[in-house]
Amino acid sequence: MNHLTVGQRSPLSNLAIDDTAPITLKFTRQSPIEMDISCFALDAAGKLINDDYMVFYNQPTSPCGQIKLTHYESQPTANKGIQAEFEVNLSKLATNIDSLFFVLSADTPLNQIQSLEIGIWQQSQKVQAEYQAVDFAQQQASMLMQLYRKSGVWRVSNVAQGFNGGLAAIVQHFGGDVEEGSPQAVEATVTPVKAKPSLEKVMLDKAPKLVNLAKKATISLEKRQLQKLTAKVALVLDASGSMNRQYKKGRVQEVVNRILPLAVSFDDDQALDCWAFARDPQYLGEIGLSNYDGFINNAHGGWRKWALGPRINNEAEVMKAVTDFYQKDGLDVPVYVLFISDGGVNDNRGITRVMTDAAKLPIFWQFVGLGGRGYGILKKLDDMEGRVIDNCDFFELDDLDDISEESLYESMLEEFPSWLKEARKIGLITS
């Protein structure tokens, strides 16, 4: 059985799930409060197909009959028990249904829930995802798990993203009508592929604070013909003790702000994956246009509370965690990793081993030295022998304020295009 951690994504086929046969999702909870579990069928724009495609205890079957709530228990329980079971037949859904979002909601904060487990079954249990009270904080709703199509392949994502306002707010977020539903007929037609909107327009609509950054990023992207590239973006943040000053002065949050336009341009989800590391790595979740502002001070209680063990450097461990994450995700598109460090690097041998293995994968690593020294092997990786491809680059800054945003994007993207070209040539990238 596969355990799906928060933030992890994977093609169903990688989890021994046949998307042409029905699957069952079982929600087992131990909770002193009443809570609701609903399924939303969404189109490619992330909007509810129509109000009849919200499947819950009061509307247990979708109009097409391929999404069914087959079991439901509404009352709280002191013991673990199955609250809901959904049966889904993905292969028979209308082609304009792009994803299914399973949502948890309550009238009170969800952190009162003792535990919640989601199991995906097909003859036997294939997947398990587990949540505790700490995963829910004070929100009254959480977008738990998503089944979605990508390049014709059904995938699963353990989103676990909190949402303020409860079920009504989520219905409105997905475009549903809370007061007066106005169902529309579902058209069983393929959703047309839309051209990517301009980066500047996306930012203007969703994150106006970043419009100027988007303009400058666009110049670098167009110069390198990357504006139509589809890729994943990852951010890895050194959170060792010597980085405290950078966090306190807001420099690390500024790194988040400056890389987000690249993620919005590259990634279909308009988000990036973020890790922090000291002795231990921690996956902090996705950063997108709805949660980037103040992310460093808000995610998992803020940077001072991240579960990283002693605040000493261990680059090799987080590099391995990032590599493992994307291998499980399927690596169907290239990955761009921005890796921030202020030096004090150790375990050169371990770093060399991980990077040599990672060179066989469609992952490019852009290392940035920020306001430190002792970068060690990170400065030498670019010239390291024994790899199937040069998969990394390095540059350093004394201070983020010392470089213009235009120059920063130029440095961040300097070697990425040549790596893409070579990676395609040797077959690492097929798209």
Between CA 387 and CA 355 the distance in angstroms is 8
Residue 344 and residue 301 share a domain: yes
Confidence of residue 191 (pLDDT cuts 50, 70, 90): very low
pLDDT digits (tens, 9 = 90+) for 210-238: 999 999 999 999 999 998 899 999 999 99
pLDDT digits (tens, 9 = 90+) for 377-402: 777 776 777 889 999 998 888 777 77
Domain count, the chain: 2
Residue 259 and residue 159 share a domain: no
pLDDT digits (tens, 9 = 90+) for 22-75: 999 999 999 888 889 999 999 988 899 999 999 999 999 999 999 999 999 877
Averaged pLDDT for residues 396-422? 89
Query: With contact defined as beta carbons under 8 Å apart, do 61 and 68 qualify?
Result: yes
Tell me: pLDDT of 105 over 80. yes
pLDDT digits (tens, 9 = 90+) for 124-142: 999 999 988 877 777 888 8
Residue 51 lies in a domain: yes
Closest CA to 365 of 326, 406, 335, 410: 335
Q: Which of 120, 155, 173 is the last residue of a domain?
A: 173
Residue 430 lies in a domain: no
Confidence of residue 374 (pLDDT cuts 50, 70, 90): low
Query: With contact defined as beta carbons under 8 Å apart, do 89 and 222 qualify?
Result: no
Residue 206 and residue 78 share a domain: no
Residue 161 and residue 221 share a domain: no
Residue 284 and residue 395 share a domain: yes
Between CA 273 and CA 329 the distance in angstroms is 12
Residue 187 lies in a domain: no
Residue 49 lies in a domain: yes
Domain containing residue 221: 199-425
Residue 135 lies in a domain: yes
Query: With contact defined as beta carbons under 8 Å apart, do 292 and 257 qualify?
Result: yes
Tell me: pLDDT of 431 over 50. yes
Residue 270 and residue 124 share a domain: no
pLDDT digits (tens, 9 = 90+) for 333-368: 899 999 998 877 778 888 889 989 999 999 999 999
Domain containing 413 — which CATH number? 3.40.50.410
Residue 226 and residue 148 share a domain: no
Residue 216 and residue 94 share a domain: no
Averaged pLDDT for residues 426-431? 82
pLDDT at res. 178: 60
Between CA 31 and CA 167 the distance in angstroms is 18
Closest CA to 167 of 190, 144, 146: 144
Tell me: pLDDT of 20 over 80. yes
Residue 223 and residue 354 share a domain: yes
Residue 133 lies in a domain: yes
Confidence of residue 186 (pLDDT cuts 50, 70, 90): very low
Show the tokens assigned to 409. Answer: 């994007």
pTM above 0.75, yes or no: no
Tell me: pLDDT of 194 over 70. no
Residue 333 and residue 273 share a domain: yes
Tell me: pLDDT of 10 over 70. yes
Residue 155 and residue 17 share a domain: yes
pLDDT at res. 187: 31
Residue 184 lies in a domain: no
Domain containing 125 — which CATH number? 2.60.60.30
pLDDT at res. 205: 84
Q: Which of 156, 173, 190 is the last residue of a domain?
A: 173
- Mean pLDDT computed over every residue of the chain: 87
Query: With contact defined as beta carbons under 8 Å apart, do 118 and 128 qualify?
Result: yes
Between CA 149 and CA 91 the distance in angstroms is 11
- Exposed e or buried b for every residue in 343-371, given b needs 16+ CB within 10 A? bbbebeebbbebbbebbebbbbbbbbbbb
pLDDT at res. 308: 97
Distant-in-sequence contacts of 287-295, Cβ < 8 A, 24+ apart: 287/235, 287/256, 287/260, 287/263, 288/263, 289/202, 289/203, 289/206, 289/207, 289/260, 289/264, 290/206, 292/207, 292/210, 292/256, 292/257, 292/260, 293/207, 293/209, 294/253, 295/253, 295/256
Answer with the residue of higher pLDDT: 164 or 294.
294
Tell me: pLDDT of 181 over 70. no
Residue 194 lies in a domain: no
Q: What residues have CB less than 8 Å from 223, skipping those under 6 apart?
A: none
What percent of the chain lies above the pLDDT cut of 90?
Answer: 55
pLDDT digits (tens, 9 = 90+) for 235-287: 999 999 999 999 999 999 999 999 999 999 998 778 999 999 999 999 999 99
pLDDT at res. 397: 83
Any bridge partners for residue 149, and if so which? 154
Closest CA to 36 of 176, 170, 178: 170
The strand pair at 124-132 and 2-3 is best described as: parallel
Q: What residues have CB less than 8 Å from 174, skipping those under 6 apart?
A: 40, 42, 46, 47, 48, 101
pLDDT at res. 197: 67
Tell me: pLDDT of 184 over 70. no
Residue 233 and residue 163 share a domain: no
